[in-house]
Structure 1
């Protein structure tokens, strides 16, 4: 079941990546500026991200397994719109549908992972995130193999991704609903009487959740969540610079074609997949905070060096940086879940949702700066963003340290 929901995560994030993979095509076919491209990325991330904590809070109170295929249906509508949108306004509306599908999927998907994880939460979360990261890494390949030859109409192939996801979810949903019933997570149709087994089970689950969390005060929890959001915020701003705009930087600075510019972008993403998996494995051994610090401190020198490298060195450096930088992502989700025991949906929504939604502002800022000062200036400025991640040193120790 863990691999099934990870596969759906792959397909969901691949559909999101169709949007960014089409940026060079939209730039040409609709004559868009970098600022307009930034607003497309902003619309996608804000829709998919800011709604995630809202969906997460709802799902914590009333888990709804059938929201999963409904979310995929929204993404399918968005894919169809991307393929045939004749103007910028309809393009943004189509992006909203893709974002809505993702917003619905992620909190419920994280709950499935939580139920299937057993005692290895960081490892299980890394399996789940590997699916999403691998889906994102397909973007450069889709640009080179599908969208450059076929143009905007090639986005119609993304509808097949939604169909495949819905097919898998029809196997996941019954299992998910059964586990919720077993764990007392499914609200009964009639209120349970005091002293019933259902009430006792719910109390035991709540107590167990509290024991699994970090034994710290609520003020420290709020401080830690704030620091964690800033760290993820900075990482997502940097991710927006690389994922949305590095292909234009490679084209302008190194004279690469759009297809050739996908190679360093693909290396960053595919090595990030491996880093996500490795980070989850290692975090179960050495602790969440230590793994996040290794990820952040290790990525800083590579990020600072990247804008100054000759093309030959770009490929290995961007690959290593992707591996290190993404090794801490799934760990930050688990750390947030342990800060907020019993609120899996809200914690997942905050980290994979709200923080990335705020990071979407980076796409708008980067796009406007690129129009005003050039892409080289923007990449130089963005290289300092990972330094904000050093705030992670202020986080309290986790329960494995």
Structure 2
């Protein structure tokens, strides 16, 4: 059985939502891109600068599953333009006050805006896609592009006018809010939210909490590496390459750009080799890649940054689908943890990396990141491919007949179309 292709009107909605996703996820990458400017203009220590990254990532990561629970109970399409504006205003205000407390507060507001956008936008995109995995991939790609664009935008604005020019960073938010409004006008949303995990509304299968928690431990290792590099790679690239501001911005851009490539590659590789195998190999290859970033000087740093980006991003969407299949009765919880709470651990580690850099050197502080993908691989060795959703639905119903969800090779399910 094949997925239903979205009609032209829904295709327009998806394109608008994808563009709004670009605009909003600019603010996911903007805070880390601002760190070098906070250090140079305000003489922050590494620990103080990483605290700003923590304020944004922690609030966003904790709030995202909460917003997900809310939007599972009640549709809130108005959240899309409001959250886009909230994220942009928070980042735009970050450069205006010399107060560290005020800066922390406004970037935290930006993090909440980002958190509010994603669960509801994903729900609306799912409705507009009519079960098309290609269409949902387009929506996800928009976020990756926004993340990658952030360091270029921040550098262009702040390098020209200093932190006082930060209000100009609100422009993507204004565009994103307008795109959200336009998208909502072109998609037909149901009056209520109803979610079921199998045909006939019956919960399918049993939750495998030990496997889910083990995988979450690996995701935490990935999170610490990614957030740690996001916070300090720009500064480190300047030191290691002997370049200026552009050298740091380029390194951060390469790290984020891998999200667009890795997300697409992860799905295709999993189709051919299986999710668990692809995730394990990704963690394995990330070990020498991170070692190259930390230890190899000169322009080769960019090559190792690209390899690190691929290693970190290829398993990203696979973590989510694996988590949902390990917890078929708690799909919302699985998504909230894999996308939200585990990311906050990476934010919590950033101040520790910053404090170590202040006490020793940035290279010494980043060196422990090399070991974390190896630890993640050790955790993943014990995991099995979860039972596929259609098999669990069959077990729950006691028969192989009747309508049920169509699986894709990554373990996602697509509702069967009914006339």
Q: Does the TM-score normalized on the shorter chain lie above 0.5?
A: yes
2:217 aligned with 1:207: no
Structure with higher RCO (Cα < 8 A, 6+ apart): 1
For residues 142-181 of structure 1, the aligned pairs below 5 Å read 142-174=153-185, 178-181=188-191
CA distance in 1, matches of 2:275, 2:129: 16
Deviations 1:40-96 (A, max 9, x none): 011000111101111111222223221222212322331332132232111111101
2:39 paired residue number: 27
1:393 paired residue number: 381
Q: 1:71 to 1:44 in 2, by over 3 A?
A: same
For residues 60-99 of structure 1, the aligned pairs below 5 Å read 60-99=72-111
Residue pair 1:52, 1:106 contacting (<8 A) in 2 also: yes
1:300 paired residue number: 287
2:70 paired residue number: 58
TM-score by length of 2: 0.82
CA distance in 1, matches of 2:269, 2:327: 22
Residue pair 2:262, 2:309 contacting (<8 A) in 1 also: yes
Residue pair 1:273, 1:323 contacting (<8 A) in 2 also: no
CA distance in 2, matches of 1:106, 1:68: 8
2:263 aligned with 1:276: yes
Query: Could you tell me which of 111, 115, 119 is aligned with 2:127?
Result: 115
2:230 aligned with 1:243: yes
2:267 aligned with 1:267: no
TM-score by length of 1: 0.85
Unaligned runs of 5+ in 1: 187-201
CA distance in 2, matches of 1:297, 1:152: 40
Q: 1:5 to 1:343 in 2, by over 3 A?
A: farther
Shift of 1:301: 2.1
Residue pair 1:76, 1:159 contacting (<8 A) in 2 also: yes
Shift of 1:264: 2.3
CA distance in 1, matches of 2:128, 2:281: 27
Residue pair 1:69, 1:166 contacting (<8 A) in 2 also: yes
CA distance in 1, matches of 2:128, 2:101: 41
Q: 1:127 to 1:228 in 2, by over 3 A?
A: farther
CA distance in 2, matches of 1:102, 1:245: 22
Deviations 1:159-197 (A, max 9, x none): 111111111111333566x3434xx626xxxxxxxxxxx
Question: How many residues matched?
Answer: 376
1:380 paired residue number: 367
Residue pair 1:336, 1:351 contacting (<8 A) in 2 also: yes
Q: 1:179 to 1:58 in 2, by over 3 A?
A: same
Report the RMSD for the aligned CA atoms in angstroms: 2.5
Shift of 1:132: 1.8
Q: Secondary structure at the match of 1:64?
A: coil
| Structure 1 or 2: more helix by fraction | 1
Deviations 1:88-127 (A, max 9, x none): 1111111011011011112212223433455555x55543
Query: Could you tell me which of 370, 383, 390 is aligned with 2:357?
Result: 370
Shift of 1:278: 1.8
CA distance in 2, matches of 1:397, 1:124: 26
Further displaced range: 252-261 or 281-290: 281-290
2:58 paired residue number: 46
